[in-house]
Structure 1
């Protein structure tokens, strides 16, 4: 192998220029430090989304990849919701919570554009 074993990789780095075939095969199995698992009801999901926005990156939340745009839209909508609506959204799986916030954002921007 030309580099460290994938199990020892602590930072996800896609800028590896010279790697052998074994390294390419192992690197995809390395755990990404930004992978997150949030069961329904876990309020730290919003903290993870805020971290995505702050670092201007993406992360894998449960099995779904969350990009910068969907994270920023979700956080923006979340901050404007009442507490009871936030608690209702928290009962959903993380991908569904993000999808619902994006749907709210889309609905609001479509209404604004049509006026």
Structure 2
């Protein structure tokens, strides 16, 4: 049985904000300034917390019984800012809870969509 949990938040997106666009557009969610900007979105940390909780539950109850593996995907339009910042923060929360986490950012090297 396979289940899907979708949680969305309209996080602050540097390329869409004229006040920070020029300064942040070529950066990624790995840069502390972008990460702080994205995670400062009202509700963003609640999304991180809920996602970390959901992933812990999946690992404990539905993960691969041999290796307890769960794959999660965090996405946004470009894959360079919001999804990167949120995925990295979820990974921090999970690591702090004692879980091994690998993060692979598939679109982080793509050019910024104008």
TM-score range, shorter chain: under 0.3
Q: TM-score by structure 2 length?
A: 0.27
Radius of gyration: which is bigger? Answer: 1
